[in-house]
Amino acid sequence: MRAFVITGPGAASVRDVDPPVAGPGEVVVDVERAGVCGTDLEFFSGEMAYLHTGDAEYPVRIGHEWCGVVTSAGSAEGESWIGKRVTGDTMLGCGRCARCTSGRQHTCADRYEIGIRHGWPGALAEQLRVPVGALHEIPAGFDLTMGAMVEPGANAMRAHQQAAGSRILVMGPGTIGLLVASFAAAAGAEVHLLGLKLDFARSLGFADVWTADDLPDLPFDTVVDCSTAASLPAKAVELVEPGGRVVFLGIAEEPSLIDTRQLALKDVTAVGVLSGSGALRKTIDVYASGAVDPRPLVAATVGLDEAVNVLAGHRDPAWGEAPKVHIDPRR
């Protein structure tokens, strides 16, 4: 089958590789759509932290935002999934440790991450091997764009679920930030966005969008940092109302420093969000209800051979300013 393989910083191509074979408790999915995210860009550039900690190494096959149809199963427990359109969790815990058995498999020390950690092949390929326990069925009314937006949506959903209060500031209006803002707005919150490129956010109907120079002095009950700027986590603590919450979802290339005295003296609750684990079904339900539509965030869908140009940052101006690009591995 055809698969996209990154062999080193700035070096990648589509290759013919052996198709996956489902083991016990696993299925094989024919991938219909896969998203490209910031983690994928970091693998291509060589900046991905796991490359430097030993949790990942080249060659790597990326892709963890996906949907497709189950076509084969490795054991009886997967046979009922054959023919169903699905998406799935990125985090694959060992299933035996205390973290896994308490519902925290996404923090398992021995976890695989599809397309990211410990070499589990990703979804920028014609087929993908997935454990049955990671699967979520997609409703019949979903199109492929919505299906591949479930995983990033689940990350945003978990951040939204950690928010409190009626006025929320989201820092970083990229894909995840805009989804956090959309979930919060759908739940009735007053949503503000802080960033550099704001025209697209305005086009989605968000009126309270600001730069650092014109951000109003308001009491923000929750500040969600979805940026990759090392300076913004500290800014989030500075801006949040005493007794409020800060939610950290973005990851900078270098350490982000926070004055813990501010956390304590303002009685702030700080929460980190690692993944969308535990929120995929809720995200599917919200999409299905029509309360949030992620499709305007996708600028274009291109074939597998175009993935290298996408990772290199080459965008067709005709795509507009939507932040997400999807790959159709069948093209």
The pLDDT score that the predictor gives to residue 197 is: 86
- So what's the pLDDT on residue 254? 87
In the chain, which residues have pLDDT < 70?
A: none
Is residue 116 within 8 A of residue 50, CB to CB? The reply is yes
Q: Which of 216, 68, 99, 239 is nearest to 165 (CA)?
A: 239
Nearest residue to 249 via CA among 322, 118, 321, 160: 160
Contact by Cβ (8 Å): 251, 172: no
Distance CA 136, CA 243 (A): 36
Cα distances from 281 to residues 27, 107, 123, 309, in angstroms, run: 19, 19, 20, 32
Q: How far apart are CA 189 and CA 172, in angstroms?
A: 18
**Contact yes or no for 141/167 (Cβ under 8 A):** no
Q: Are 125 and 31 in contact (CB under 8 A)?
A: yes
Model pTM?
A: 0.96
Beta bridge partner(s), residue 72: 28
Domain ranges of the chain: 2-149+294-328, 156-272
Among the listed residues 180, 154, 179, 161, the one whose alpha carbon sits nearest the alpha carbon of residue 283: 154
**Protein fold of 2-149+294-328:** Quinone Oxidoreductase; Chain A, domain 1 (3.90.180)
Residue 40 phi, psi (nearest 5):
-65, -40
| pLDDT of 222 | 98
Q: What are phi and psi of 120, to 5 degrees?
A: -70, 120
Cα gap 54→192, rounded to integer Å: 38
pLDDT at site 316: 94
CATH of domain 156-272: 3.40.50.720
Mapped onto helix, strand or coil, the DSSP state of residue 43 is: helix
